[in-house]
Every structure is written in C-alpha cells, then in structure tokens.
Amino acid sequence: MEVLIVGGGIGGLTLALSLHQANIPVRVYESVPEIKPLGVGINLLPHATREFEALGVLDRLAEEAVENTEMCFYNQHGQEILVEPRGLAAGYKWPQLSIHRGRLQMILLEIAKERLGAERIITGHHCRYADQNRDGATAYFDDPVTGDSLGAVAADVVIAADGIKSTLRRQNFPSEGPPRYSGINMWRGVTRTEKFLSGHSMVLAGSLRTGKFVIYPIVDNVDGSGQTLINWIAEIETDDYLTEDWNREGRIEDFIDSFADWHFDWLDVPDLIHNADAIYEFPMIDREPIKQWTYGRTTLLGDAAHPMLPRGSNGACQAVLDARVLTKCLLDNDSFQEALKVYEAERLPATAEIVRMNRSSGPDIFLTEIDNRTGGEEFDNINDVISPEEIKELADAYKITAGFQKDRLNKRLPLV
C-alpha cells in the first residue's frame, strides 16, 4: 500500500506522520519549491494536542509554543465578561497551545523528514489533477514556477490536503466558484511587547458591531529579548476585501479607527497595533459544505475538505482529527475505497456542522448578545446583563459541536 498526499501544510504533514506511525508508506507532494515558516499565530485545542501527543510530537511543539491557561472575554470598554480556564488548567488531560503557524508547519516538516526520510517530502510539485482506475490512483504534477509538466506519480490512494483553493476539490466540483466571503475582513499581526494579564491568556474583545480583537501570546522570550511575541487579529465588518492571499500585507489606516480608543488598563490596543513587526490582511472566508469528498481512491482532508471561518481555533485542529480518523479507516478496512468512504461518513457531517456553526454562532456569540443588550454602553454588573448559566450554555454548545467538550474528550477512546 502507498498513500500519496497532495499538500504539505498542517493537515498533509500530520497525515504523513500518522500514516508512517501506522506503518503505511506515504509520500507528500507540496507545491511550493521551499516550505517557509509563513503565517502568524494558530491555536491548538486539546482535541488536537491529544493527537499530537499520540504522534510523539507534542513535546517538540510545546517547546516553541505558549500554553493557554485561560480564555478571557471583554467588551470594547475593556470590561471583563468572563474568564474561563482552558487546557490543563480547566481539567483537560491535554494542553491548549498557541504557536506560530509557520513554526508549527516547520516542526512537523522536520519530524516528518527525520521519520519518513527527506526524500518522501517532495517540494516544487504542483498537482494539476488526479485520475484512477481499478488498480490505483495517479496524480499529475507541474513545476509551479515554469508550469512545465513534471509527469505522473502512481499510488494506491491520493489524498488532497491542498488547502482552501484545492485543485482536486475543483476537479470534482468544477462549478463551485470562489470561497464565500463572510462580510468580515481580518488584519492579523504580531508584536513584541510585555506579557499581558496572566501571560498565558487568550482574549476576545468587542463584538460584531464594534469590531473584534483577538489576542494571544505565541512565543515567550522572543529571540532572547525577554519580550513576548503577541499574536493579534482585528476583525471588522465591511463589504470591501482584497484577494485571498495569506501573505498580503495590511495597512494600519484601513482598520485602526475601530480600535483607536481601546486603551485598557491591562493592554493598550492601539500601541500593540502600531508596534507590530508585521501585519497581514485576509478576508474571513469559507465554502459551503459539499456532499461528497471521496471518489473511489481519492478524498479530501483539512481546508480542502471543509474550509471554515477562523472562529474558535478549529481550522488546523479539524485537519488533525481528519488525519487521525483517516489513518484508522485505512488500518481497519480491507479495501481502499471502503476506507475512504467510512472516513467521509465520519468526518464530513461532523465538520459541516462546525462550518455552519462558525457562520452563525462562534464560541464568542455572547459578546454580540451582550453588546445588543447594553446598547454598546458600559455595564455596572455583568450579571444584570446576562447570567453565567446563559453564557456557559452558549459556550458549551460550540465545544460539543467542535469535539472538545472536556468530559467527552477526556473519556473518549483514542482515535487510532
């Protein structure tokens, strides 16, 4: 048996490590000529760190990550609404980690090269399409720079982990069109500064109406400076957005007005924005769930299968779950086609529900509810606006759908 993975992102590399652990031969074909540490912060929730522990990579990730021990919700006046313990501090058996997305990818790449052999991670191969017959599946590659054909590679199955603009998804759904814009644009940045709150806090502040600001540390003692690298995301409702390019630089003047007076006693938001090392602009986009991922010997994984709005830190985490469930299905089923169908039956409905939930009510739905109830004014006592039970109910509904409600996750059997 040999599995060919298209795409060496977080999902593709996790799948490679998982299949290798299960003694299933695998090769990864990545489009970019050289994988570089791109992006800014990413959050790994306990359902994903559990799988990284099972893969024996959690310690390496934890060395370069910051552990989140609490999630804090504030309004735009900097008033505290809820502080909720997270990860180990909340009683999960696995931590919640914040890490630079590029470092996460590079660590997975380094470990994959060590374990599989560097020759099994092939860069500079852009997949153009895949076909199959009774005996196997074949992927066809071009040079991403020159466009020249690099020929065909045969395997038993081809897994498309090639991101939100997946070539293989388009092959099966040619009229799907571009991703769907949510009406919210994001500016994402990193800033070196002092720790804020506990030093291990993730903060969500504001509401849909005022603009939202998400903040969490991703590197302690960055470059030995004693400072912390803080990841932040400014989200603003607007009809305008530019193209979907993860590396497009953002301009402060396009979004600073919404946060200009957010001077809190625990953090000065305008300062944080003005002192950024780098700012990128990216629209909040997703795709409507499709009805089928698996066609015979090919299937989709990660953002190729279920691109979702980046609310609730589930983009990478769900790709990790896909990788583990797919491994189990390949181990448990005699036929490849059957394995990929069982994988789809488990993962497609589960992730489609998260895609839909992220559109209507992410994990911070109560922030907007509170803004509505207070008319955007400061409150004297949050309990007069919303009860703790009501907040918990709204927050727990998201965790159950996304698969990281504490008791369920702690008690669930291992995926593989």
Give the binding site for ligand FAD (CB under 6 A): 6-12, 29-32, 38-40, 42, 101, 126-127, 161-163, 167, 188, 246, 302-303, 310, 315-316, 319
Residue type, 68: N
What is the rounded distance in angstroms from the CA atom of residue 282 to the CA atom of residue 84?
28
CB of residue 91 to ligand FAD, shortest distance in Å:
26
Q: Which residue is nearest to ligand FAD (CB)?
A: 9
Residue 269 buriedness (CB in 10 A; 0-12 / 13-18 / 19+): buried
User: Smaller CB distance to ligand FAD: residue 182 or 374?
Assistant: 182
Closest separation between CB of residue 402 and ligand FAD, Å?
A: 14
Q: How far apart are CA 121 and CA 171, in angstroms?
A: 24
Minimum CB distance to ligand FAD smaller for 42 or for 219: 42
| Distance of closest approach, residue 179 Cβ to ligand FAD, in angstroms | 12
Nearer to ligand FAD, 279 or 415 (CB): 279
Instruction: Give me the count of residues in the chain.
Output: 416
Q: Decide whether 37 or 177 has the Cβ nearer to ligand FAD.
A: 37
Residue among 140 and 379 whose Cβ is closer to ligand FAD: 140
If the CB atoms of residues 14 and 75 are measured against ligand FAD, the closer one turns out to be 14
Q: Which residues pair with 231 in a beta bridge?
A: 190, 216
Q: Minimum distance from CB of 380 to ligand FAD (Å)?
A: 36
What is the nearest approach in angstroms of ligand FAD to the Cβ of residue 40? 4
State both tokens at 408.
């369920």
> Considering beta carbons, is residue 86 or 126 the nearer one to ligand FAD?
126
Please name the residues in contact with 360: beta carbons below 8 A apart, sequence gap of 6 or more: none
What letter represents residue 238's amino acid?
Answer: T
Minimum distance from CB of 343 to ligand FAD (Å)?
15
Nearest to ligand FAD of 211, 302 (CB atom): 302
Please check whether residue 4 is in contact with residue 157, taking contact to mean a CB–CB distance below 8 angstroms. yes
In the complex with ligand FAD, which residue's Cβ is closer, 280 or 382? 280
Cα–Cα distance for residue pair 2/389, rounded to 1 Å: 51
CB of 49 to ligand FAD, least distance (A): 14
Q: How far is the CB of 145 from ligand FAD (least distance, A)?
A: 13
Residue 244 backbone phi and psi in degrees, to 5: -85, 80
CB of 129 to ligand FAD, least distance (A): 9
Q: Is the Cβ of residue 87 or residue 315 nearer to ligand FAD in the bound state?
A: 315
Q: How far is the CB of 379 from ligand FAD (least distance, A)?
A: 31
